[in-house]
Structure 1
Amino acid sequence: MIGTLRSAAAIALILIASLPMALWQIIALKSNGRLDDGRIPRLWHRMAVRLLGIRIHVRGAPSKKRPLLIASNHISWSDIMVLGSLDEVHFIAKAEVATWPIFGTLARLQRSVFVERQARRKSGEQATEIARRMSDGDPMVLFAEGTTGDGNTLLPFKSTLFGAAQMALSEGGSETVSIQPVAIAYTRLQGLPMERRHRPHAAWIGDLDLMPHLLRLLREGAMDVEVHFGEPITFTPGDDRKKLAREVERQVRDMFAAVLRNPA
């Protein structure tokens, strides 16, 4: 009963706060740069993780270098709120997200880039859009596995959208692009360490319905997540994006494994 009341209260507060924040964000986006269009999404994410009962532990920090591509593993929809609460970042999201009720609108207001990962013919066009945004100074977050994992293991990183770094060099006029590896791991539930069989509790995998998963997290509450920012890798003209993807994956995998062995 208490969990249900907490869920209803949290959802109500998020919805009530979202309307004025969305209106302000629309005004900011129409101001042609005169108003900061990154501050409101960050405030919204901070509010959301607090109401969801997610405690964030951070090691390292988002890089201030530009152009910047942040390459992270992916476990749940909540990863977006977690990373979005830490810095004014923009996300590379799968095309279906744009059609989701509420979340699709929020993603558009945060100026997410929507990609069709299965449409290989569009990969060049999509990478070009990401490269343009990076060249304009927007830090872009890429969930490099292309889907969500189960919270225990990482899936292989896909190299296709790392091509955006190459395009930022060739088309944006930048001499280098920074690629920052990031590892996300959910480690505790109600203060108790998550073991292997419990970590999928946080994961949102495949075609699971979003709302039941959201309501379950709200009812149970109090979840800890660790975010580890690695040192940025400098990408230069002539570097191989596939080798880059493998090196970023290696670093994320090492940080992820270290968190699971010894959570904060």
Structure 2
Amino acid sequence: MFRFIRFGIRAPALILLLAFGICTSFLLFPLLKQAARDSIIRYWSCCLMKVCGVRVIVEGQPILKGAVMWVANHVSWIDIFILNCCRSTSFIAKSEIRKWPVIGWLVASVGTIFIERGQRHAISRVSKSILELFRHDACVGLFPEGTTSDGLDMRSLHTSLFEPPLRAMVPIQPVALVFMQHGKRSGAMAFVGEQTLVNNIWHLLSSRDVLVYIRFLEPLNQAGEPVEATRTEIAATIRTSIIHELKKELS
């Protein structure tokens, strides 16, 4: 019963917030400077998490100025908005997300770069887009697992998109997204398997005591500083550091 009540309260608020986001992106963003758009994205993302009943706690020292690549584990469609609560971030995401109703449009409006898996020139095109973002001191978010997991572990990482920050000598900062519910580690909010987007939204909006820690770990390098490691070694370092954070609260 309480799940239906929570959903009945949150769903209309979510619809209104999504409508506001669509109108703002379509009507206001073309008229605003980047700094103003970034502020709106951060504020709107924080509101989205509150409406969804998700409490977000930031730990560590996120790089908030200048070009940076945040490399995080991937649990749900809300990961993009969770990180946008800290800093307006352009993400690399699979092209299928663009086709999601409403959410796909909003994800695109916050600067997401979509990659078509299996396309020969996809990596080259996306790499050029990332380098262009770095030239504008942007934050780029990468989920190198390529798909979502239950958030209790981390899959093996794809390494091809580590090349742009290495070439531009941009900081690479690992980020661990730690999902909890009722004070314990939980994979209940994960968008995995055969679950549909609608079903996942129902589960999220009807749940309570959902908490996400955003743990910003030590960057692998500083701005203008090369990384003396291969992409495979970088992936192994990032994966090890994030898994360490994911395993901390597991009983």
**TM-score over 0.5 (shorter chain):** yes
CA offset digits 1:183-217 (Å, max 9, x no partner): 11112x2x3424xxxx2312111442011111012
Instruction: Give the equivalent residue in structure 2 for 1:131.
Output: 131
Question: Which residue of 163, 184, 187 corresponds with 1:193?
Answer: 184
Instruction: Give the equivalent residue in structure 2 for 1:158.
Output: 158
> What residue identity is the alignment partner of 2:91?
F
> What residue identity is the alignment partner of 1:202?
M
1:126 is displaced (CA, Å) by 1.2
Cα distance in 1 for residues equivalent to 2:228 and 2:206: 51
Instruction: Give the equivalent residue in structure 1 for 2:64.
Output: 64
For the structure 1 residues 34 and 61, does the alpha-carbon distance in structure 2 shift closer, same or farther, using more than 3 Å as the test?
Answer: closer
For the structure 1 residues 164 and 206, does the alpha-carbon distance in structure 2 shift closer, same or farther, using more than 3 Å as the test?
Answer: farther
For the structure 1 residues 31 and 247, does the alpha-carbon distance in structure 2 shift closer, same or farther, using more than 3 Å as the test?
Answer: same
Question: Which residue of 198, 205, 210 corresponds with 2:192?
Answer: 205
1:22 is displaced (CA, Å) by 3.0
Cα distance in 2 for residues equivalent to 1:20 and 1:202: 25
Question: Which residue of 217, 230, 249 corresponds with 2:204?
Answer: 217
1:259 is displaced (CA, Å) by 4.3
> What residue identity is the alignment partner of 1:80?
I
Moved runs in structure 1, 4+ residues, more than 6 A? none
Instruction: Give me the identity figure in percent.
Output: 24
Q: Is the CA contact 1:14–1:48 (under 8 Å) kept in the aligned structure 2?
A: yes
Instruction: Give the equivalent residue in structure 2 for 1:252.
Output: 242
Number of residue-to-residue matches in the alignment: 248
Task: Give the TM-score, by structure 2 length.
Answer: 0.89
Q: Is the CA contact 1:72–1:183 (under 8 Å) kept in the aligned structure 2?
A: yes
Instruction: Give the equivalent residue in structure 1 for 2:176.
Output: 183
> What residue identity is the alignment partner of 1:200?
G
Q: CA RMSD of the aligned region, Å?
A: 2.2
The worse-fitting range, judged by mean Cα deviation, of 112-121 and 20-29 is 20-29
Cα distance in 2 for residues equivalent to 1:36 and 1:203: 32
For the structure 1 residues 110 and 201, does the alpha-carbon distance in structure 2 shift closer, same or farther, using more than 3 Å as the test?
Answer: same
Cα distance in 2 for residues equivalent to 1:14 and 1:217: 12
> What residue identity is the alignment partner of 2:195?
L
Unaligned runs of 5+ in 1: 170-175
> What residue identity is the alignment partner of 1:58?
V
The worse-fitting range, judged by mean Cα deviation, of 25-34 and 11-20 is 25-34
Instruction: Give the equivalent residue in structure 2 for 1:78.
Output: 78
Instruction: Give the equivalent residue in structure 2 for 1:39.
Output: 39
Q: Is the CA contact 1:185–1:259 (under 8 Å) kept in the aligned structure 2?
A: no
Task: Give the TM-score, by structure 1 length.
Answer: 0.85
CA offset digits 1:61-99 (Å, max 9, x no partner): 321353200000111112222212222222211111111
Instruction: Give the equivalent residue in structure 1 for 2:102.
Output: 102
Cα distance in 1 for residues equivalent to 2:249 and 2:216: 12
